[in-house]
Amino acid sequence: MTTKTYQIQIGLKGSKPKIWRRILVPSDLLLSDFHKIIQTTMGWTNSHLHQFIKNRTFYLQRMADDDLWDDLDNVDYSKMKISDLLKKEKDKIIYEYDFGDSWEHDIILEKIEKNGVNEIIPTCLTGKNNCPPEDCGGIWGYSNLLEILKHPEHEEYEEYVEWLGGEFDPKYFDKNEINKMLKTKDFGCYGLF
């Protein structure tokens, strides 16, 4: 089977305005590498657990002492490829990151390039808006944080600015910076980086 190029949109569910990225990845990319690409393109720090969801739940690997798995229909995805879950245009999966804050992302296969793999993938083509800060309380907490940052006179403003480590621009997005980071990462099977 010839490797194809997938054009995928990643959108953070519930974000207003929408936080999203459009990327190119190879169709035979391992899900474990796809996870790293999502983390890099969205701006997360890979500090929490994650899972993929499509009719069933797909985790990286079961822990030996994890009895919870016995009752759930979970699948170890360590050897799975993105093409195992996204087969045709418009196919969709959910990527959930940080089970406490529950950052859910809609992953949509927008387009399949059948001409083989583009040499510069993974690549971020475009996107919009900054990723929320880690551990800010999910979509609700992020909305609250943004509201407080609009009002420097708010009693919690200074505390939030200090917690953030300075200014935070919710509209910030730089695809060149993202692509530079993608080139420095090791995404396994391609040896491109």
pLDDT at 191: 37
pLDDT in tens, 151-192: 999 999 999 999 999 999 999 999 999 999 999 876 544 433
pLDDT tops 60 at residue 129: yes
Amino acid at 151: H
122 prior amide bond cis, ω within 30: yes
Q: What is the pLDDT of residues 135-160, one digit of tens each?
A: 999 999 999 999 999 999 999 999 99
- d(CA 182, CA 1) in angstroms, rounded, equals 26
Domains recognised in the chain with CATH numbers: 5-129+173-190 (3.10.290.30), 132-170 (no CATH)
| Tokens linked to 56 | 């069933």
